[in-house]
């Protein structure tokens, strides 16, 4: 799912806070402090942002992971001298 544009409870616009929130978390800022810096004071809005799971990113990472057999085959091909492949 994508981040909701508005809080389901109060209707405040929260969709524009998501990217900033992630950047702050990556910088090592605590969840609560990041929410305070974004101006997100209501507990309902904080819940919407803090509990959101970005399923699209997780799905894209798992759609086509390389299989174990394919990795083994690639390693074997890398060990064969080029003149034997021609």
Q: Is residue 22 part of a domain?
A: yes
Strand, coil or helix: 9: coil
Q: Which residues on neighbouring strands pair with residue 6, listed in sequence order?
A: 13
Number of domains in the chain: 1
Q: Is the pLDDT of residue 32 over 60?
A: yes
**Cα–Cα nearest to 40, from 48, 29, 30:** 48
Q: What angle do CA 11, 14, 20 make, to 5 degrees?
A: 170
Task: State pLDDT tens for residues 38-78.
Answer: 999 999 999 999 888 877 777 776 766 666 666 777 777 77
Q: What is the CATH number of the domain that holds 49?
A: 1.10.10.60
Report long-range pairs for 26-29 (Cβ below 8 Å, ≥24 apart): none
Per the prediction, the chain carries an average pLDDT of 83
Q: Is the pLDDT of residue 86 over 60?
A: no
The phi and psi torsions of 10 (rounded to 5 degrees) equal -105, -15
Q: What average pLDDT does the segment 24-31 reach?
A: 93
**Domain ranges, residue 37:** 15-85
Q: Is residue 6 part of a domain?
A: no
């Amino acid at each position: 799912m994508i981040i909701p544009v508005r809080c389901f409870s109060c209707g405040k616009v929260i969709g524009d806070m998501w990217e900033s929130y992630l950047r702050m978390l990556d910088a090592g800022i605590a969840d609560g402090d990041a929410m305070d810096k974004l101006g997100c004071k209501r507990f309902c809005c904080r819940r919407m942002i803090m509990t959101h799971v970005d399923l699209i990113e997780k799905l894209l990472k798992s759609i086509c992971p390389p299989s174990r057999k394919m990795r083994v085959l690639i390693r074997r091909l890398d060990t064969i001298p080029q003149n034997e492949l021609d």
